Amino acid sequence: MALLLLLTIINGAVNYAHSSTSSPSSSRLPAPANSTTDYEFLKVHNVTRAAVQVGPLRWNRKLASRARRLATETQHRSGDPASCEFSDLPSTSLPYGANQAVGNFLVKPTAMVGSWVEEGRRHYNYFHNSCDDGHESECEAYTQVVWRKTKEIGCGRANCGKDGALTICLYYPRGNIPGQRPY
For residue 145, give the CATH number of its domain: 3.40.33.10
63: in domain: yes
182: in domain: no
pLDDT digits (tens, 9 = 90+) for 108-167: 999 999 999 999 999 999 999 999 999 999 999 999 999 999 999 999 998 887 778 889
Beta carbons of 70 and 96 less than 8 angstroms apart: no
Element (H, E) at 20: strand 20-21
**In the structure, what pLDDT confidence band is assigned to residue 27 with cuts at 50, 70 and 90?**
very low
179: in domain: no
* Gap between the Cα atoms of 85 and 22, Å rounded: 28
Query: How many domains, in total, are found in the chain?
Result: 1
* Gap between the Cα atoms of 30 and 51, Å rounded: 25
178: in domain: no
181: in domain: no
Q: Using alpha carbons only, what angle is made at residue 48 by residues 75 and 138, rounded to the nearest 5 degrees? A: 50
180: in domain: no
* Average pLDDT score over residue span 45-49: 98
Element (H, E) at 21: strand 20-21
Q: What pTM was computed for the model?
A: 0.77
* Gap between the Cα atoms of 31 and 18, Å rounded: 5
Number of C-beta neighbours around residue 65 at 10 A: 13
CA 56 to the chain's CA centroid: 12
- Cα dihedral angle (131, 155, 88, 143), rounded to 10 degrees? -10
Q: Which pLDDT belongs to residue 6?
A: 30
93: in domain: yes
Residue 68 has pLDDT above 70, yes or no: yes
150: in domain: yes
Helix (H, G, I), strand (E, B), or coil: what is residue 110?
Answer: helix
Q: Look up residue 52 and give its DSSP letter.
A: T
Determine the structural domain holding residue 89 and report its residue range.
2-172
How does the average pLDDT of the chain come out, rounded?
Answer: 80
Helices 109-123 and 36-51, interaxial angle, to 10°? 30
Task: Pick the range with the lowest mean pLDDT from 47-51, 66-70, 87-91, 111-115.
Answer: 87-91
Q: Which pLDDT belongs to residue 94?
A: 80
